[in-house]
Amino acid sequence: MFKVRFWAIIIILLGAGLGFLVYQTEKSDSNFKFKFGLDLDGGSHLTYRADTSALKRADVAGAMDSLRKTVERRINVFGVSEPIVQVESGGLFAEAKDSDRLVVELPGITDVNQAVQMIGKTPILEFRLEGDAVAQAQLAVASTSEEVAAAMEKAYLKTGLTGSQLQKASLVFEQGSPSPIISLSFNDEGKKLFAELTKNNIGKTMAIFLDGNILSAPTIREEIPNGQAQITGQFTAEEAKQLVQDLNYGALPLPISLIETESIGATLGGHTLNSGVMALVYAMIAIFVFMIVWYRLPGLVACVALMIYVVLMLLAFKSIPVVLTASGIAGFILSIGMAVDANVLIFERIKEELRKGLSTHEAVKVGTSRAWPSIRDGNLTSLISAVILFWLSGAAVVKGFALVFGIGILFSMLSAVLISKVLLLAISSDKEHKLLTKLFNAGFGKIN
């Protein structure tokens, strides 16, 4: 009995210590603070549709991941705090044309136009080989954008060599050159592809396109095995410097189009956060009152275990880290209900064992053991639902709910089966004790 009570004290002290840690890290200027989504912190939410029509479906996932990394790298240059860039599918039954989307969240950037400009500045760099000569002639005399677009695809054919294989861009000033030259170095994949293209197409023109416009169209004189290329054009020094910077920060591997924007002010986000926190506090108070009134001493133990559960969840949010949104807080509150539900199952089983004449100590041991299968199965089905919601839902708001809810289920099982059991055993007795037995009784009935 001493050993159990020792561990009960350790659990309470550890819970208090972790709670203090959560409080202190949130109060200080550390990097261990909670991370909030735009609906709680304010900022801009942008949704882009990626054009993957030119790719095989098997290559889309890799291209979208490359797009995500490129945009994220580009945004980080502007010093945006904790940007979130993620690939989002339209869900299991979404149409293919809408299934490849990029979601960008920029906390603190409430000017949507500024946010759009930050993403839109990133150029799309392509290397294309000369195609149909007739189409090239048509392109030369085209006067409307429709005529240019119609002739462009046939005049210059895509090679697969794009800015996604670019390793570095640098500015070069050569003596006798009227304008700066931009030197490009490709990574291993780009170097190999560039070598093959120059080897097999000597004498042909390889046009360099930036955002659909031809920058230069040099003729391939010989194989270039070292992965080095140059862009020449009528650049000013400032234009060339800006282009080099844009290319180094990431040329988009896929064309994207903006389909949705949303701006959330910091005031609105703060109000939503306060409302969510107050809902959590009210829920906790209501649960505490009910548990103590109905389940008496075990109810008080459940309240202590529940507070430790909340501390563990908050610590997990900071450690993983989880970006908290309004839907995530809703999932957190719901998971508290799941944690209480597990305690209720245990207390009802303990009540049944007490009516059989067992001591409180034996009733706790037998009751928790027999309640475990129901707790396990109930939480497992909820966990399966959370996993399905997370993986098959295309909406970030649903993913946030599912993630927090899933973490909560795992911690609730730990709280109910381990923490509650140890605390209950610590206050129980293996001897007959009428007052203690009465305090362990649930409701207003009597134990015969």
Q: What is the pLDDT of residues 131-147, one digit of tens each?
A: 877 666 766 667 676 66
pLDDT at 36 over 50: yes
Chain-wide mean pLDDT for the chain?
A: 81
DSSP-assigned letters across all residues of 185-209: EE-HHHHHHHHHHHHHTTTSBEEEE
pLDDT digits 0-9 by tens, 400-447 = 788 888 888 888 888 877 888 899 989 888 877 777 777 787 655 554
Higher pLDDT, 377 or 440: 377
Q: State the pTM of this model.
A: 0.61
Closest CA to 433 of 354, 368, 356, 365: 354
Residue recorded with tokens 């945009």: 71
User: Given this model, what pLDDT does residue 168 score?
Assistant: 85
The radius of gyration computed from the CA coordinates of the chain, to the nearest angstrom, equals 31
User: Given this model, what pLDDT does residue 93 score?
Assistant: 47
pLDDT at 75 over 80: no
Higher pLDDT, 143 or 315: 315
Residues whose CB falls within 8 Å of the CB of residue 247, separated by 6 or more in sequence, listed in order: 123, 125, 163, 166, 169, 182, 184
pLDDT above 70: percentage of residues in the chain? 84
The confidence band for 265, taking pLDDT boundaries of 50, 70 and 90, is: confident
SS3 state at 182: strand
* For range 222-235, the mean pLDDT: 83
Q: What tokens appear for 113 in the block? A: 């136009």
Q: What tokens appear for 205 in the block? A: 């023109």
To the nearest 10°, the Cα dihedral for 251, 253, 254, 260? -50
User: Given this model, what pLDDT does residue 78 score?
Assistant: 59
In the chain, what are the domains? 2-34+265-440 (1.20.1640.10), 43-122 (3.30.70.3220), 125-251 (3.30.1360.200)
Q: What tokens appear for 71 in the block? A: 């945009």
User: Given this model, what pLDDT does residue 9 score?
Assistant: 92
Measured between alpha carbons, how far is residue 225 from residues 218, 228, 327 in Å?
A: 17, 8, 53
pLDDT above 90: percentage of residues in the chain? 11
pLDDT at 98 over 60: no
* For range 47-70, the mean pLDDT: 83
Give, as one character, the DSSP assignment of residue 163.
G
User: Given this model, what pLDDT does residue 69 score?
Assistant: 79
User: Given this model, what pLDDT does residue 250 score?
Assistant: 60
Q: What tokens appear for 282 in the block? A: 């009210």
User: Given this model, what pLDDT does residue 139 score?
Assistant: 66
pLDDT digits 0-9 by tens, 334-368 = 888 888 888 888 888 888 888 888 888 898 899 88
pLDDT digits 0-9 by tens, 385-394 = 888 888 876 6
User: Given this model, what pLDDT does residue 341 score?
Assistant: 86
User: Given this model, what pLDDT does residue 288 score?
Assistant: 92
Strand partners, 231: 182
Which of 20-24, 28-32, 289-293 is least confident?
Answer: 28-32
pLDDT at 212 over 90: no
Q: What tokens appear for 384 in the block? A: 């399966």
User: Given this model, what pLDDT does residue 285 score?
Assistant: 92
